[in-house]
Structure 1
Amino acid sequence: MSDVGSNIESDAWVADSGLFIACGRQQNNKYTALRRFAQRNGISFVIPQRVYAELGGAPNRSTPGQTPINSAIDAGWVTVADELDYTNGAVAAVMDNVRRFIAQASNRSEDQIEKADTALAGVAMQLLDSGNAASVTVVTTDTDAGKGVVRAIEARGFEEQIEFKNGFDLIEEIT
């Protein structure tokens, strides 16, 4: 198992909904551990707008009137990414490549791949391509998506600037 601390130097951490779903409710020790990890290390997990939409619709299962993701955003340890620029050829290419990679790895057709999975790649590419991040760690509970993001972004010339961290492993390491 890798040491979580070795990944902290990354400028940006892009996370999927699976990480937050695996942590559970705000009162859960995993959620608290993730919040403490982010705050202690000065990390603000960047989530694609599609991920925010997935996580933002659960107020009945959490604190009345406040979803866990909105609490995390208000506390500053989660940030919603800018709108993806689909006119940027690099962003569009990595999203297409990730969709193909996941489809092949999971033996599904490309139209069955979740758009949030490809959005992880889009956000990571946009951060790197714009110079807003020198490196990105993608945290996802979907191994195929994580591997696909790394492969697609490295193919665009960003070797050594993209890393995949399994969300379940991260939770285990910090709790």
Structure 2
Amino acid sequence: MSEPFDPMGEAVVWIADTGLFVACGRQQNAKYTALEQFARRNDLTFVLPQRVYAELTDAPVRSTPGETPIDDAIAAGWVTVAEEPTYTDGTVARVMDDARRSIAQSSNRRDDQIEKADTALAAVAAERLSDEAEFASVVTTDVDAGEATVTALAANGFQDRVRFKDGFELIEEIT
């Protein structure tokens, strides 16, 4: 690709993981507010894989019933939930398999111990890069998952089109 990756460019999809929102805390937290302001200031929408959304909406049921700040972020328009990936698509399947293997190797775990939400980041990125986005920025607090997503996408034809952004670093930069 001849043009450089600009994470704030119009053709960039921002895909976020559970850890980013968990690290921000409740809506009243300054980190959460800063994340919302970051999204609005840069006119971007964080895209959540279905599995990430499920993790975020299940957690309040266990800890703070009735509080689902992610639904408020979706209603406000700075977060959206991706359609379930087309798992029968060869590229999506390969990217997910490659990401799973890479995470397992870097974290010293078996393939079957890797969270499906982690590989869903790679699947959503592959679909968006195939269909509509020129670039993808994957934001997660899980370094293994972030690096594996970039590696898997690069190995499947999306080299230089995806970047991993550590969610903790993003929060620190914007607060």
Question: How far 1:89 moved relative to its partner?
Answer: 0.4
- Go from structure 1 to structure 2 and tell me whether the alpha carbon gap of 1:61 and 1:28 turns closer, same or farther (over 3 Å shift): farther
2:76 match: 75
Q: How many residues are paired up? A: 168
TM-score by length of 2: 0.92
Question: How far 1:155 moved relative to its partner?
Answer: 1.0
2:21 match: 20
Q: What CA distance in whole angstroms lies between the structure 1 residues aligned with 2:86 and 2:97?
A: 14
1:148 match: 148
Q: What CA distance in whole angstroms lies between the structure 2 residues aligned with 1:108 and 1:169?
A: 25
Equivalences for 1:74-113 in 2 at 5 Å?
Answer: 74-113=75-114
Question: How far 1:61 moved relative to its partner?
Answer: 4.8
- AA aligned to 2:169 is D
Question: How far 1:79 moved relative to its partner?
Answer: 0.4
- Go from structure 1 to structure 2 and tell me whether the alpha carbon gap of 1:60 and 1:155 turns closer, same or farther (over 3 Å shift): closer
- AA aligned to 1:15 is A
Q: What CA distance in whole angstroms lies between the structure 2 residues aligned with 1:96 and 1:60?
A: 31
2:162 match: 162
1:135 match: 135
Q: What CA distance in whole angstroms lies between the structure 1 residues aligned with 2:99 and 2:35?
A: 27
Gaps of 5+ in 2: 1-5
Q: Deviations over 1:7-33 (max 9, x none)?
A: 212520000000000000000000000
Q: How much identity, in percent, do the aligned residues show?
A: 60
Q: What CA distance in whole angstroms lies between the structure 1 residues aligned with 2:171 and 2:63?
A: 21
Question: How far 1:66 moved relative to its partner?
Answer: 4.5
- AA aligned to 1:116 is A
Q: Deviations over 1:141-167 (max 9, x none)?
A: 010111100011011121221000000
Q: What CA distance in whole angstroms lies between the structure 2 residues aligned with 1:54 and 1:60?
A: 11
Gaps of 5+ in 1: 1-5
Greater Cα shift, 41-50 or 6-15: 6-15
Question: How far 1:65 moved relative to its partner?
Answer: 3.7
Q: What CA distance in whole angstroms lies between the structure 2 residues aligned with 1:157 and 1:93?
A: 11
Q: What CA distance in whole angstroms lies between the structure 1 residues aligned with 2:83 and 2:49?
A: 8
TM-score by length of 1: 0.92
- Go from structure 1 to structure 2 and tell me whether the alpha carbon gap of 1:84 and 1:104 turns closer, same or farther (over 3 Å shift): same
